[in-house]
């Protein structure tokens, strides 16, 4: 057998999962999903103010999500009604006056590839002010000369109580070989396959323990020679999923050694605030059924360019509401890579199937955060969005990088929305409601605009006052309730940001659907060498990546011309002539700005 006896003895802890969902509950969830379809049709097609009504529903569920998270945290510090003998210490840690750092001890796993050294330095420095953080693990995807900048930054920020380990091979590739040796080709039982998954992860954990022993890594500072509290691991470059897998395996082992229950997972461009970890982790710790959560996000490079200013405003006016919708039922559809917390015991059962995900025979590597969330939900765990807690992330500095990022996120969203329909049976129908809005809404807008451009007639009811009310109420609600106080001089940026986000959204939706199986990251990392590669990309590649937006700007220009012609009572012949100008001029300007420049 491949596994050592010590590894096999640890297997029982690998069977941790969320609560089972009964067949009756699954049937009720199915009925709820069916009921939501006509409700969504009524809201979008049979009311005079569909956008405003949809916003009112979003505000209600956002408030409910916030109330539910506050209840989870309050339960964490409640005094237990009775204290069994031998549990006195545990009860004391649960008292309301117990410092949160004592209750929610945690570790952090930070991963990256060829990050800008200055930004990475700031990211690592931000963890020094975090309460309750007992161990920091950094994973670097790459072991070439250009990758060593990140290792040097790690050693600069953490010169003491730290160590660096180089791996000759990513643990994910070792896991795949191990699994192939364990699985019988004739094996078809779901339980047997799941057991092989867990055996594979157990074997990887045993390898991680042996690597730590070989490098004489200790964690107990009371022992002779002391221990470390920071570790950097770097391995040959593959992709983000590979370094995440390796980091998660080492995190499981380290958490076991330190008796830590929660792990914060983040990217190398993320700057945490003093309470980012504690408030997010406390939300998970206060709910025994919670397998993970993610905090809200703000933008730390808001002042870099015009596009980062608009991106910051988009995060402020869109993210808080849209991500709260599904999370109100404890079923967040995406734990954001920059600001995620996991209950470590929930990871072993899902890591291998997450790492080896295939869609129509193709390996998926760019939807790492959404697929992790889907796997948690499939195993019965609650996943929530902690909207009243903030973490600072980086947003693209150019329009082209912003569009490429949105397309990549769109592809991941489509995959996770449609690949595992069972997830809707296991979770509240609100989860299905959020998925339908996310997928169907932009498509309705896309085809409505095309239909009007071609025929001059409206495909669906539209009212400018409805759009005005939605924008106004969105701004008002965020100013009142969003913990992020908004971008600097936000009053001047919100309306442009709404156009910046919503105008390309229908085209992004369609193009990401058409190219859903493309596995490229789209954008390069932020080191000088990687950014120069982006600038030198070939013309045909830029057209393939961004040509959809060039064409869409032409469609919007032509549609705007037809609207203007109708308002000014132009003749059909004049409208037809000017439509061509409206089509060609925006496309030409966008082609020059995005493709040629």
Q: Greatest CA span in the chain, whole angstroms? A: 90
Q: Which helix (H) or strand (E) holds 358?
A: strand 358-359
Inside any domain, residue 567: no
Residues 6+ apart with CB under 8 A from 451: 457, 458, 459
CB 484 within 8 A of CB 331: no
State residue 7's pLDDT score: 42
Inside any domain, residue 433: no
State residue 188's pLDDT score: 67
Inside any domain, residue 11: no
pLDDT in tens, 382-414: 999 999 999 999 999 999 999 999 999 999 999
> What's CA 219's distance to the chain center, in Å?
31
The CATH number that applies at residue 184 is 3.90.550
Inside any domain, residue 180: yes
Residue ranges of the alpha helices (H) in 235-350? 240-258, 276-285, 306-314, 320-327
State residue 319's pLDDT score: 85
Inside any domain, residue 584: no
**Strand-pair category, 340-343 with 290-299:** antiparallel
Provide the domain count of the chain.
1
State residue 594's pLDDT score: 87
State residue 19's pLDDT score: 86
Give average pLDDT by consecutive 10-residue segment, the chain, 597 residues: 42 65 93 93 86 91 91 76 39 38 78 94 94 93 93 95 95 94 77 86 95 90 74 94 96 93 95 93 92 93 93 89 81 87 93 92 86 92 93 94 94 92 92 92 93 89 88 90 80 87 95 87 56 63 92 94 88 84 91 85
Domain that holds residue 203: 106-303+333-395
Inside any domain, residue 385: yes
CB 526 within 8 A of CB 116: yes
CA-based radius of gyration for the chain: 25
Query: In sequence order, what E strands does 318-435 have?
Result: 340-343, 358-359, 362-363, 382-393
Inside any domain, residue 328: no
Token pair, residue 434, equals 């959020």
CB 509 within 8 A of CB 412: no
Question: Position of tokens 């969005």?
Answer: 385
**Strand-pair category, 382-393 with 340-343:** unpaired
Distance CA 324, CA 431 (A): 11
| DSSP, res 316 | I
Inside any domain, residue 485: no
């Amino acid at each position: 057998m491949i596994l050592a006896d010590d590894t096999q003895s640890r297997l029982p802890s690998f069977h941790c999962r969320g609560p089972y969902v009964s067949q009756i509950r699954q049937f009720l969830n199915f009925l709820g999903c069916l009921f939501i379809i006509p409700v969504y049709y009524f809201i979008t097609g049979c009311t005079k103010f569909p956008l405003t009504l949809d916003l009112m529903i979003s505000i209600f569920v956002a408030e409910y999500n916030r109330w539910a998270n506050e209840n989870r945290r309050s339960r964490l510090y409640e005094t237990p009604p009775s204290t069994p003998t031998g549990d006195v210490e545990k009860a004391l840690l649960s008292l309301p006056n117990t410092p949160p750092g004592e209750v929610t001890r945690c570790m952090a796993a930070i991963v990256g590839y060829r990050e800008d050294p200055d930004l990475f330095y700031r990211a690592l420095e931000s963890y020094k002010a975090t309460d309750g953080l007992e161990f920091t693990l950094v994973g670097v995807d790459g072991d070439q000369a250009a990758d060593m900048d990140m290792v040097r930054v790690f050693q600069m920020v953490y010169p003491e109580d730290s160590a660096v380990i180089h791996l000759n091979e990513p643990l994910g590739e070792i896991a795949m070989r191990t699994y192939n040796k364990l699985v019988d080709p004739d094996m078809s039982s779901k339980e047997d396959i799941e057991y092989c998954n867990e055996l594979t992860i157990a074997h990887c954990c045993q390898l991680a323990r042996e690597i730590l022993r070989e490098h004489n890594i200790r964690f107990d500072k009371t022992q002779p020679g002391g221990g470390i509290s920071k570790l950097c691991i770097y391995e040959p470059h593959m992709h983000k999923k590979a370094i995440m897998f390796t980091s998660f395996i080492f995190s499981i082992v380290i958490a076991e050694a330190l008796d830590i229950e929660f792990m914060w997972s983040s990217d190398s461009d993320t700057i945490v605030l003093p309470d980012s970890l504690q408030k997010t982790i406390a939300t998970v710790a206060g709910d025994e059924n919670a397998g993970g959560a993610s905090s809200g996000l703000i933008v730390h490079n808001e002042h870099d360019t015009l596009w980062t200013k608009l991106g910051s405003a988009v995060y402020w006016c869109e993210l808080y509401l849209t991500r709260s919708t599904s999370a109100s039922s404890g079923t967040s559809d995406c734990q954001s890579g920059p600001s995620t917390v996991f209950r470590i015991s929930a990871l072993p059962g899902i890591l291998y199937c997450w790492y080896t995900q295939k869609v129509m025979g193709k390996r998926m590597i760019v939807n790492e955060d959404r697929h992790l969330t889907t796997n948690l939900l499939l195993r019965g765990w609650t996943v929530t969005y902690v909207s009243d807690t903030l973490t600072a992330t980086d947003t693209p500095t150019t329009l082209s990088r912003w569009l490429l990022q949105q397309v990549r996120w769109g592809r991941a969203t489509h995959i996770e929305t449609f690949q595992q329909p069972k997830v809707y049976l296991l979770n509240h129908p609100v989860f299905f409601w959020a998925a339908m809005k996310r997928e169907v809404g932009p498509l309705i807008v896309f085809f409505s605009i095309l239909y009007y451009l071609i025929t001059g007639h409206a495909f669906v009811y539209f009212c400018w006052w409805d759009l005005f009310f939605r924008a106004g109420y969105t701004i008002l609600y965020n100013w009142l309730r969003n913990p992020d106080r908004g971008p600097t001089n936000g009053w001047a940026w919100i309306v442009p940001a709404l156009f910046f986000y919503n105008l390309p959204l229908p085209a992004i939706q369609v193009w990401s659907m058409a190219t859903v199986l493309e596995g490229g990251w789209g954008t390069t990392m932020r080191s000088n060498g990687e950014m120069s590669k982006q600038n030198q990309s070939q013309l045909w590649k830029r057209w393939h990546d961004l040509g959809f937006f060039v064409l869409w700007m032409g469609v919007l220009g032509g549609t705007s011309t037809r609207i203007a012609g109708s308002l000014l009572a132009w003749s059909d012949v004049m409208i037809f002539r000017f439509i061509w100008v409206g089509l060609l001029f925006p496309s030409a300007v966008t082609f020059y700005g995005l493709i040629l420049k």
